[in-house]
Amino acid sequence: MVACNSSLGGGLKRAQEGLEVCLTSLLAHRGVRTRRGNHEFPESSAWEEMDNEEELAKWTVGSELAPESSDIESQGAAQAQQPSQGLSQQAAGPGVQGGRGGLGGTGLGQTARHYHQDSVLGRLTAEDIKKAREARQTANKGPTSRLVRQKLSDHAKENKVPVSRISRLANFGGLAVGLGLGAIVEAAKQSFGGKQATGQGALLDTPLLSEANAERIVHTLCKVRGAALKIGQMLSIQDNAFINPQLQKIFERVRQSADFMPTWQMTKVLAEELGSDWRDKLESFEDKPFAAASIGQVHYGVLKEGREVALKIQYPGIAQSIRSDVDNLMSVLKMSVVLPQGLFADSSLEVLQRELEWECDYRREAECARRFRRLLEGDSYFRVPVVMDELTTGRVLCMELVSGEPLDCCVDLDQDTRNQICFNILQLCLRELFEFRFMQTDPNWSNFFYDAEQNKVTLLDFGACREYSQKFTDNYIEVVHAASVGDRETILQKSKDLKFLTGFESKAYEEAHVDAVMILGEAFASREPFNFGAQSTTRRIQNLIPVMLRDRLTPPPEESYSLHRKMAGSFLICSKLGAVIPCQEMFHSIYLRYQQGLRTRA
């Protein structure tokens, strides 16, 4: 019985495939139009224009079997038996991988053959046809169809942005209570041996930051967004010496899984900024964002002339809530942990508040993007997208859509490519400080998109840009140079000139400060290519922190907060990608050009 069933099934399958080939050849031979009863079977260009989905569904079988080329006879019988590859795999669902554009898979033909094998030729629905039509239209657009935007995280949810100060305070209050209870539970688990600490000495390895509490923090930050979420994003780009791997994985979610505004709240912002007729200024616009961050969310749109763009729309009330959010978060921290006096947390948060206020001004960000585009004009490796002035306001920023993938998705590229990416990123960081004296200070990996096809990196998000005075860079470059040549005395003196030290610190603090600078300068001191994947910089710096927090007498200069965040982020990119690159020659060439500039100015 089994053998009979097998033989019968095999025979039916071969007969079915033979019928498919015959129909395919017949349709190809008769041309692009075929009669079926009293109805005319339309060619692909015609059914793509149909508006009636039921009418489209009628021609499902014909559209599946219609070949892409009528010249099948010349291709031979073997090719005639292959399914049509005219439609993208996206016809049966999205198939984009890696964040880049292009058409994935071998085409709808494989899906169509699957339907035939089910012996139900009409199985495709009107919705399937609609998707197939959209996929073919995308394929026919050519190169612009390769600009596929990021995919919104599966963790992101539609959630109204709490606008009022009271509603935001309520969220922080709930977080404080949850953290307190969570810390008690975690401490009890560790005390009774139910769970051991997993941080292996990480700086932020405390009962307060248990995995359960980290989940509470992420949930609250993704809901309230704004300044609090920005701080969470900073935690997400630290290495394992600062925060243990389990917590780091949880905090990584805040970079792409912020909740997004409901459509009514988003359209209200657009109407206030661009006018009630804002949709008339675009050929198309997607109401659901493809990315959601701390201050705004990003939507896909197409201009009237066909250019694809990304519109960043700011969350309502975020700019007005920055100071209260930081104050609320500070209150939560003070209730939960004792902050060392040498941390100068109030000074750090004051600088952070000011920088976040800059980021909420999208007109300022647009001007910074234009400035960077001018600075990098003609650069062979970096590119900056164009700002669309007509759709840019204080709370809406419109820029051309770019292709690529964030740098943290590049860990599996070959070593040479990773080395090239990191060399250029670190060199740009030095150029920003010592050549441009104008730096994009947010090192979030998603602000750098690598395009493998063009072998270029696109720079994004210019809200955190700031300038540096020549006096500051004159002294700072001497500190880095002294570290690269092992000159401890110059490091100490120039640090005092920069106001990192007052001159009245203890001998132990001075030694710890110079040791920290020397450790950070090792990459520029190495005569051989420096292996970022094998370095232990953060771990050794961590060992110096107790002395520095105990004996520090003054907060660091304002410029250093964002500068060190950017430099640490650039080093971390190199570490994450396992770069092995010659840093000493890179820095010394920049140092020599800087010195030549000083002599010219003199």
Three-state secondary structure call for residue 148: coil
Give the helix/strand (H/E) hosting 257: none
Q: String of b and e for 417-450 (b: at least 16 CB within 10 Å)?
A: ebbbbbbbbbbbbbbbbbebebbbbbbbbbbbbb
Catalytic pick among 239, 442, 451, 515: 442
Query: Rounded CA gap, 204 and 538, in Å?
Result: 13
Coil, strand or helix: which one is 530?
A: strand
Query: Max CA-CA distance within the chain?
Result: 99
Q: How many CB atoms neighbour CB 526 within 10 A?
A: 16
Beta pairing partners, 405: 450
CB 232 within 8 A of CB 247: no
Which 3 state secondary structure label does DSSP give 227? helix
Q: Show the tokens assigned to 575.
A: 């570490």
CB-based burial label for 50 (10 Å; 0-12, 13-18, 19+): middle
Radius of gyration of the chain from its Cα atoms, rounded to whole angstroms: 29
Taking the chain, what is the end-to-end CA distance rounded to the nearest angstrom? 99
Cα(75)–Cα(72) distance, rounded to whole angstroms?
A: 5
Q: Is 327 a catalytic residue?
A: no
Q: State how far the Cα of 230 lies from the Cα of 530, in Å rounded to an integer.
A: 31
Kindly report the three-state secondary structure assignment for every residue of 169-201: HHHHHHHHHHHHHHHHHHHHHHHCCCCCCCCCC
Angle CA 526–528–533, to nearest 5: 80
Q: Residue 339: left if φ>0, alpha if ψ -120 to 50, beta else—which one?
A: beta
Q: Which residues are catalytic?
A: 442
